[in-house]
Amino acid sequence: METRNPQYNALIDRIELIASNSDEPILLLGESGTGKTQLAERIYTLKLDRRRVKGRLVHVNCATLNGPDALATLFGQRRSYLGQAGTERTGLLREADGGVLFLDEIDELGWNEQSVLLHAIETGRFYPLGSDHEITCRFQIIAGANRDLHTLAAAGQFRPDLLARLNMWRFTLPALRSRREDIEANLKFELSRSERALGTQVGFNADAHEAYLKFATNPATQWPGNFRDFSGSIKRLYTLAPRGRITRTMVEEEVANLRSSWAAATSDTDFTSVHHVLGDAALDIDPFDIVQLTRVIHTCQNTPNLSAAGRELFAMSRQKRKTQNDADRLRKYLQKFGLDWETVTSSRGGQD
């Protein structure tokens, strides 16, 4: 896929170099929907092409590994476990023998599972549940996380020694709002993918195409679900297109639908995010200001600096000003609530 974002191009070039020359763990960080799964699949394909692996790619969603079955799912289980006949389980680590184990959302993995996993990564050996004999298994690791693992480790929610082992090669995938110059290329890609899936050809009318790109690339459009939101939007337009054409009316309806769903999701967390930053002082803020301040906090915590946050928050009004000091405007807004950039971003999640 064509990409014009310098940060993303540099990231991909470096990942390709490392995937082709190193067998050490790769840690992929970034918000949900930034493409960690697709990138893990690409890394596996590169390793397979370079003959660094022979086995398969095993994708594990660690968020689904809960309760007593988590260890058995990962490491396997003997039939006689717990002194009674049961189902013998191979375990996902053995399924990945000779290949790549992709541990998606590893920040959701339980403490016990983290401990056994660390031993397995470092030694290539582990005990299936109910077994007196270690299994030898060699695999390469790709781990994905939505949250900052260093923050979790400091809070006692993630093993620091496991983090140190996974942190050999670390990459943070940029959010869609940070890759707006790539949106048009991704639009073409999603249309082509839908065409392959549905077997029909669909295109945008010229005015519809212009309207959609204007909305999608607008700094005020945050894309909170990143490429999941974007891909779902294009699939809806594609599926509903009459006679193979996406009209401006359809685009306007889709934009309204996206804005409505994002607003509903934000309203559920308005007070939570503000209270997290301000503490009990949030109780003295009017509901009107809570909604606005929530958006400001979210933007600050998901942009690299004060100026970038200001550009997004003042995307429309800044175009009408002769001088554009977005950072100063944002700084003054935060001061109204006794806040500054450092305070707001100190609780930043999912950042590298």
- The contacts of residue 109 (CB under 8 Å, 6+ apart) are 62, 65, 103, 117
| Cross-sheet strand order for the sheet of 26-29 | 57-61, 100-104, 140-145, 26-29, 169-172
Alpha helices in the chain (DSSP H): 6-21, 36-49, 69-75, 92-95, 111-123, 149-154, 160-166, 183-198, 206-217, 227-240, 248-267, 270-278, 287-301, 306-313, 326-335, 341-345
Q: Are 216 and 227 in contact (CB under 8 A)?
A: no
Q: Are 294 and 274 in contact (CB under 8 A)?
A: yes
Cα–Cα distance between 163 and 141 in angstroms, integer?
13
Candidates 214, 187, 181, 217; CA nearest to 203 is: 187
SS3 164: helix
The conformational region for residue 348 under phi > 0 = left, psi -120 to 50 = alpha, else beta, is beta
Give me the tens of pLDDT residue by residue for the chain, a chain 352 residues long: 678 888 899 999 999 999 999 999 999 999 999 999 999 999 999 999 999 999 999 999 999 998 778 999 999 988 766 655 557 889 999 999 999 999 999 999 999 999 999 999 999 999 998 888 999 999 999 999 999 999 899 999 999 999 999 999 999 999 998 999 999 999 999 999 999 998 999 999 999 999 999 999 988 788 999 999 999 999 999 999 988 999 999 999 999 999 888 877 665 455 667 777 887 787 678 877 888 898 899 889 888 889 989 988 888 888 788 778 899 999 999 999 999 999 898 865 433 3
Predicted TM-score of the model (pTM): 0.77
Residue 165, token pair as written in the block: 């082992």
Cα–Cα distance between 303 and 182 in angstroms, integer?
18
